[in-house]
Amino acid sequence: MLKILFIGDIYGKLGRETVKKILPQIKDEEQPNLVIANAENVAHGSGISLPTIKELMSSGVDWLTTGDHAFDNEEQFKFCVAEGLPVIRPANYSAGVPGVGHRLIQTGNYQILLIAVLGRVFLHQDFDDPFRAVDSILDEYLAKFKPSAIIVDIHAEATSEKIALGHYLDGRVSAVLGTHTHVMTADARILSRGTAFMSDVGMVGAVDSVIGLGKENVIKSFLTQIKQEKIVPETGGALLNSVLVTIDPGTAKAVEIKPITRYLTI
């Protein structure tokens, strides 16, 4: 069986340190063939950078997806692309932006197609249709061969949009895993045609926070309606949310999906 560990949105330095300390333990216990993580918040909570991506790679992450904050540090994203680092952007950004939205990954005897897309409900930008974007990628690859697994990261606000995409792709991909809200949902399951699904994998970062940000300024923003400085905690209690998907490489169908959450203090 093929095992893929998917880690929720990694938030800032505390998130990176948490991955560094906890991921080796999970890898020893679960023996995943591939580790994927959402990295759009790794650089102090906003975008990516060359050093932070390399740090996560040295901690044991194999491939990284992003989301609506992918280009918060656009030049840094370009550096990562130029260096050939294992990071993808959402596939349904408009044509001409840096990077790619999917990648065929070889690990051992397995070929895994990784796809990232952005939802459109409640998000400010006018992204292309994520449903049709995945269709187009599947048409391109499945006309040639059948991958051992196909993993889709749907980075979206609305649970309904994520669930709809899960059902739309059921039986055609191995897993549809949601990111973006930073709150792990309790709906991990295998859909009727063999696709593993979870509305949101969660996050890696500060426990005593508001989805990774210092709680005091976030509360003040809600009380005053005046935007406050974003404070990203760098020490204290932390958690790592992730999910382990076990896949039959012969059928590319999921046989198990298991949420994994760990806590520590840094």
Which residues pair with residue 110 across a beta bridge? Answer: 107
Q: Give residue 239's Cα distance to chain centre.
A: 16
Question: Closest by alpha carbon to 65, among 82, 42, 83, 45?
Answer: 42
Instruction: Say which of 44, 69, 102, 167 is annotated catalytic.
Output: 69
> What DSSP assignment string belongs to the chain?
-EEEEEE-EE-HHHHHHHHHHHHHHHHHHH--SEEEEE-TTTTTTSS--HHHHHHHHHTT--EEE--TTTTTTHHHHHHHHHTT-SB---TTSPTT-SS-SEEEEEETTEEEEEEEEE--TT-SS-PPPHHHHHHHHHHHHHTT---SEEEEEEE-S-HHHHHHHHHHHBTTBSEEEEESS-S--S--EE-TTS-EEES---EEEESSSBTTB-HHHHHHHHHH----PPP---SSEEEEEEEEEEEETTTTEEEEEEEEEEEEE-
User: Is there a catalytic annotation at residue 180?
Assistant: no
Q: How far apart are CA 215 and CA 23, in angstroms?
A: 26
Query: Is the separation of the CB atoms in 224 and 256 below 8 Å?
Result: no
Q: Which residues are catalytic?
A: 69
